[in-house]
Structure 1
C-alpha cells in the first residue's frame, strides 16, 4: 500500500514545519473564543475543550507526520474521524466550529496522495456546506470558510506534489552524475586498454628480439633495448595524457607506430601514406584507435606474415565516409568480440560509425571501420 512521507529529521526542518503549521492554527481562535464567551454550560465547555484538543492533536499528527509510516487506508480512516468530530462539535456548539472542516480539508490534502486528496478536499468542503444550514446564522459565516477550505486543501496538495517533484529531480541529478562517472570510467578503461595493450605488446616483442640477439649481435640488441626505452617513455606520456583527458590519437602517429610494431614482429607491412583530406578530430581519433587495436591484434594473436592497411574516402547513398581496412593472412582468429573490439565499437558508434571484424576464410582476419564525414568535410 502507498505510504505517506516521513517526519522531518533535522531540527531546522522541524522548526520550519512547525511555523508553517502554526499559521493555520490561527483559525482555531473562533472555537476557542466560543468556548470562553459563547454562553455554554460548564459541561459543554469541558466536553467541547476535550473534543477540540483531541481534534487538534490528531490533525497535527497527520500534517506533521510524526508517524514514520502510515498506510493510505489508515489515513482515510483518520480523516473520516476528524470529519465526524468536526460535524458533532459544529452541530453541538454552533457555527463557529464549522472552521474545523477547514482543518479536515488541509489534513487530507497534506497526508493523502493526489489521487485521493482531489476527492477528499472538495468532499470535506461539501460536508461543511451540508452541516452549516442546521446552525443559526450560518449563511454569512459559511461564505468566509468555503474558499479557505478549498484553497487550503488544494494548496497542501500542490505543496506535496512540489516536494515529490523536487525529490525526483534530486534523484535524477544524482543518477545523471553517476552515469557521467561511469562513462568516464569506461573512457579511461578503453584508453588504457588501447594504449597499454599496444605498447606492452611492442615492448614484449623487442625484448624477445634483444634476448635472441645478445650472444652474437650485441649492437643490434642494444638498438632493440633503446627502442624499448623509447616505447616505454612514450607509453608513459600517453597514459598521463589519457588520464588528464587531453590525449587525441592521430592517424599519422598511429600509422608510424603500426609500421614499427609490424616490422618488429617480422610482419610485412603494406601501409598507406598519411591521409590527404583533413578529417574531423572525432572521426580521425576513432579511426586511429581502430588502427592501433587492429595492429595490436595482428602482432599478438594472428601469427600473420603480411598485414595490409587501406584508408580511403568513399561516396555512398548515405553520404561520404572514411573506411579503414586492416587485413592479415594469419590464423583467422575468432569472430567473437573481446574488450578491445567492444571498446572500438563504442568509440565508432559515438561518432556515428560502424565496425565489422571477423575471419576472411580458413586463414586471415579483416577489420573494417567506417566513419561518416560531415557535409562540410
Structure 2
C-alpha cells in the first residue's frame, strides 16, 4: 500500500510544473508562461498611452516597436531563467537593453511608461548574479527617479519607488527559494540512491556469508565424489548425500534471508504512513524514531502490518482530516507490551462488521501473542494493537528473592 501511494505521489509530482527545471513539452512551457504573463499588468499604462492618440503616427509606431522589443526581451530573460538560463553575457545584454528601453521610452513618450522599470528590477533580481542584483536593483530605482525628474513626472516616479525597489529584492528571495528547493530535491535523490546502494551492499554481504561456505563445501565434495566414483562408489554416494544436505540447508538459509528482507519494519512503516497521509491530505501526528529495544522481530513485524492496515483504512475509507499515531510501552501481567494506537476523526468506513483486513490482522497478532482492538470513538475511529515487547517474566522469576 505504501509503495503504491508513493508511486502515485511521485507520478502526480512528475505531472506538475517542475520548479527550476526546463519544460519537457509544450504543455509545461505554456503552464510556465502562465506564471509570467499575468505580471504584465503594469504594461497596461503604456498600451493605453499608445492607443489614446496623444502622439504622432511616427511616435506611436516607434512606441509600439519599443514596447514589443521590451516585452520580448523581458519574457526571454524571465522565461529562460525558469529553465535553461542564457549565458552570463547574454543576460547582462538583455537586462541592459531593458534598462535602455525603459529610460528612452519614458523620456520620449511620458510618465505613463515609468512602470517599465518594475520589469527591469524583476529581471535584475531573477537573472543577474546575486551580488550584481543587490546593486543593480537600487541603481534601477535611482534611474527611474532621475527619469521621472527629467520628464517632469516625479509624482509617478515616487509612487513606483517602493514597488520597483521591493519587487526586485523579493525576486532575489524567490530565486533563492527555488534554488534551495532544487538542491533539496537533488539531495533527496542522492540520499535515496545511497540508501539503495547500501541495501544492495548489505544484501550482497549477507548472501556471500550465507552461500560462500555452502558453495565451497559443495564444490569440494563434488570433486571428491568425482575422484571416488570409479573405485569407491559407496563413498562417492555418501559425498553426494552430503552435497544434497548442504544444498537443502543453503536453500533454507536463502529463504530465511529473503523473508527477513521482505519483513516490514516499524520505522519504515512510520515513514510510509507519513507519506501516505500527507498525500491523502490528512494531517498526521506520528511519533519519532521508535524504541524497539528487546522487541522480537516477529512482534515488530506484526505491529508494522497493523500500522499499514490502519493507515490503509484511514486513507481509503475514513474520510478523516486528522490522524494521530501513538506508540507506547506498557507493563502488564503478561510482561512488557508495545502498544500501537491509530486514531482518526473520520467515519471509520461503511461496514458494520470487521473486514477481511482486520480479521487477518487479528490472526497475525494472535500468532505472536498480541491482540487487536478496533472501536468507534466520539469523533472517529480508534485501532489499538499490542504485541509482546520482550521475554515474558515467569511467575517463578517474579516470586524469587533478590
The interval holding the TM-score normalised by the smaller chain is 0.5 to 0.7
Tell me whether 1:79 sits opposite 2:100 in the alignment.
no
Tell me whether 1:36 sits opposite 2:51 in the alignment.
yes
Q: Are the counterparts in 2 of residues 7 and 64 from structure 1 also a CA contact under 8 Å?
A: no
Alpha-carbon displacement from aligned partner over 1:331-363 (angstroms, at most 9, x marks no partner): xxxxxxxxxxxxxxxxxxxxxxxxxxxxxxxxx
| 3-state SS of paired residue (1:8) | coil
Which residue matches 1:284? none
Which residue matches 1:10? 25
Which residue matches 2:131? 115
Matches within 5 A, 1:134-173: 134-139=150-155, 141-173=156-188
Q: Which entry has the higher C-alpha Rg, 1 or 2?
A: 1
CA distance in 1, matches of 2:52, 2:235: 113
CA-CA distance at 1:137 after TM superposition: 3.8
Alpha-carbon displacement from aligned partner over 1:260-317 (angstroms, at most 9, x marks no partner): xxxxxxxxxxxxxxxxxxx999xxxxxxxxxxxxxxxxxxxxxxxxxxxxxxxxxxxx
Gaps of 5+ in 1: 248-278, 282-377
CA distance in 1, matches of 2:49, 2:178: 37
Which residue matches 1:64? 79
CA distance in 1, matches of 2:230, 2:22: 81
Give the direction of change, closer, same or farther, for the CA distance of 1:131–1:183 in structure 2 (3 Å limit): same
CA-CA distance at 1:86 after TM superposition: 0.8
Which residue matches 1:96? 112
CA distance in 2, matches of 1:110, 1:131: 23
Alpha-carbon displacement from aligned partner over 1:128-155 (angstroms, at most 9, x marks no partner): 122211222422x223312221232233
Candidates 133, 142, 148, aligned match of 1:126: 142
Q: Are the counterparts in 1 of residues 107 and 147 from structure 2 also a CA contact under 8 Å?
A: yes
Candidates 226, 229, 232, aligned match of 2:241: 226
CA-CA distance at 1:83 after TM superposition: 0.7
Give the direction of change, closer, same or farther, for the CA distance of 1:220–1:152 in structure 2 (3 Å limit): same
Give the direction of change, closer, same or farther, for the CA distance of 1:121–1:220 in structure 2 (3 Å limit): same
CA distance in 2, matches of 1:69, 1:229: 65
| 3-state SS of paired residue (1:65) | helix
Q: Are the counterparts in 1 of residues 145 and 158 from structure 2 also a CA contact under 8 Å?
A: no
Which residue matches 1:371? none
Gaps of 5+ in 2: 1-19, 263-293, 297-402
CA-CA distance at 1:246 after TM superposition: 4.7
Which residue matches 2:196? 181
Matches within 5 A, 1:190-205: 190-205=205-220
Q: Are the counterparts in 2 of residues 109 and 117 from structure 1 also a CA contact under 8 Å?
A: yes
Matches within 5 A, 1:157-306: 157-207=172-222, 222-246=237-261
CA distance in 1, matches of 2:295, 2:68: 75
Identify which of structures 1 and 2 has the higher relative contact order when contacts are C-alpha pairs closer than 8 Å and 6+ apart: 2
| 3-state SS of paired residue (2:86) | coil
Q: Are the counterparts in 2 of residues 6 and 65 from structure 1 also a CA contact under 8 Å?
A: no
Give the direction of change, closer, same or farther, for the CA distance of 1:128–1:15 in structure 2 (3 Å limit): same
Which residue matches 1:22? 37
